[in-house]
Amino acid sequence: MTTLWDTTGSAVVKELAAQRRTGGAVLSGVALTLVVVADESRVTEAEEAATHAAEAHPCRVLIVVRRQIEAPVPRLDAEVLIGGRLGPGEAVVMRMYGRLSLHAESVVLPLLAADAPVVTWWHGTPPERIATDGLGVFADRRITDSSLADDPIASLARRAEDYAPGDSDLAWTRSTAWRAVLASTLDSVSGRRSEAVQVRGGVIEGDAGNATAQLLAGWVSSRCGCPVEVVAGSRNAGPSGVEAVTLRLDQDEEVQIRADRRRGAVITQPNRPDSTLALPERVLGDLLSEELRRLDPDEPYSEALEAATGLRGLSDRSQVREYVWFDPARPGGDGNGAAPVPAPTGTGDPESSDGVAGGGEHEPAADGTPGQDALDR
């Protein structure tokens, strides 16, 4: 590991190449570039999760830590690692201060692995509009986590309003085990009947304010075409927010899956004895690794989000986002529809790929518009 204090993006690129030559490492078989955005308080969790995911999906890990945006002087501190604590591959941890943190994409772009997809993951509160963050605009997949928001249900609504194909949510990923158990249970009933099963309605017991519970209800509703309600449960439902799922079937039958206190689920269905399946709580790294398995749009998630929020036509939206630059340090620059403002003139080397890293701010175009106002993914 090499630590670079008060450095530039060009110096980071050169150090990464030097480390590769010195260590004899050859970058081969990289599946993607994983860009992680995290606050200092969550950076350790993010590093552990990214390391776990990189073991299953070889990738270059770029961790962006935005610190002290109000600092008067922009600065970049970076750690360059090859085969270090972040796994066997290449990784760079960048801590950005001052206005440089508002232009993190200018430092990250030269570090992307060539000809590889880009996935951006916000471990924390994502931007109100992903189009206002260059780190999300150039990514093929964008992963957020509504469960970390102060109001998860309101966060789901924002994610639906801002949705573009390629977006995903770890709150959705936490429902994978429940979705698998529900599907296998209905398959069992269908096999016993030797005909398809129709779901007429259902109830999810748990935490009605949990984003995962709402997305699970949306998934069942979108798949079965019936209303599914989330009601308060009798005990703590855990990270998934789901304690039990009861589905009303045709032929006056009912199935229920209820979580026990031993990380399992008890399945109750007609004409069969109760059975138990494992329903473990998954660590953050497992959730992230699952999201990295597919880089195409997640249609089941968009359908579940539609049903949970009431918005329609999410999957019909364009996959390409146009970058909307804004300055949160100025009045009205809140990223929620405020008109973009011209970026201040930078003081870095205009010929360097990291002019922002050197000077901390974008160089405007000749017509006075921001230099990054039309960045597409």
Q: How far apart are CA 207 and CA 236, in angstroms?
A: 8
Given a cut of 70, whether residue 331 has pLDDT beyond it is no
Looking at the fold, whether 153 and 12 belong to one and the same domain comes out as: yes
pLDDT one-digit tens code per residue, 230-240: 998 877 778 88
Token reading at 202: 């259902």
Q: Are residues 220 and 188 in the same domain?
A: yes
Over the chain, what is the mean pLDDT?
83
Q: Which residues fall within 8 angstroms of residue 150, CB to CB, at 6 or more apart? A: none
Is position 195 within any domain? yes
Backbone angles phi, psi at 4, to 5 degrees: -115, 120
Instruction: Calculate the alpha carbon distances from 105 to 120, 315, 318 in Å.
Output: 11, 27, 22
123: containing domain: 2-169+318-359
Which of 278, 307, 328 is the C-terminal boundary of a domain? 278
Same domain membership, residue 12 and residue 160: yes
pLDDT average, residue stretch 277-300: 92
- 79-114 pLDDT, tens per residue? 998 877 777 778 999 999 988 888 899 899 999 988
∠ Cα 169 186 225 (to 5°): 60
Domain check: are 327 and 209 in the same one?
no
Whether residue 231 sits in one domain with residue 84:
no
Q: Which residues contact 18 (CB under 8 A, 6 or more apart)?
A: none
Both 18 and 143 in a single domain?
yes
**Would 125 be classed as within a structural domain?**
yes
Place of tokens 């804004």: 326
How far apart are the C-alpha atoms of 256 and 201, rounded to whole Å?
A: 12
How large is the average pLDDT for residues 315-330? 81
* Cβ atoms < 10 Å from Cβ of 202: 23
353 is a domain residue: yes
54-58, 105-109, 136-140, 342-346: which has the minimum mean pLDDT? 342-346
Q: How far is 183 from 172, CA to CA, in rounded Å?
A: 16
* 13 and 47 housed in the same domain: yes
Average pLDDT estimate for 117-132: 91
Do 165 and 63 have their domain in common? yes
Binned at pLDDT 50, 70 and 90, residue 347 comes out as very low
CB crowding 102-115: b at 16 or more within 10 Å, else e: bbbbbbbbebbbee
The verdict on 222 and 188 lying in the same domain is yes
Q: So what's the pLDDT on residue 340? A: 46
Please check the confidence at residue 121 and state whether its pLDDT lies above 60. Answer: yes
The phi and psi torsions of 95 (rounded to 5 degrees) equal -105, 120
Identify the bridge partners of residue 244 per DSSP, sorted by sequence position: 205, 258
Tell whether 21 is covered by a domain.
yes
Q: Is the pLDDT of residue 284 over 90?
A: yes
Q: Which residues contact 130 (CB under 8 A, 6 or more apart)?
A: 136, 137, 142, 162, 164, 167, 321
The pLDDT score that the predictor gives to residue 268 is 92
pLDDT tens per residue across span 208-262: 999 999 999 999 999 999 999 999 887 777 888 899 999 999 988 899 999 987 8
**Predicted pLDDT of residue 237:** 79
pLDDT at 59 exceeding the cut of 50: yes
- Evaluate whether residue 22 is within a structural domain: yes
Residues 161 and 220 in one domain: no
Instruction: Assess whether 165 and 184 both reside in one domain.
Output: no
Q: How many whole angstroms separate alpha carbon 302 and alpha carbon 305?
A: 5
Decide: helix, strand or coil at residue 119. strand
Answer yes or no: is 285 within a domain: no
Question: Which position has the higher pLDDT, 376 or 45?
Answer: 45
Instruction: Using the predicted structure, report yes or no on whether residue 338 has a pLDDT greater than 50.
Output: no
Specify whether 81 is located in the same domain as 14: yes
What is the band of 358 on the pLDDT scale with cuts at 50, 70, 90? very low
* Structural domains in the chain (count): 2
Domain stops at, among 250, 278, 306: 278
State the pLDDT at residue 302: 96
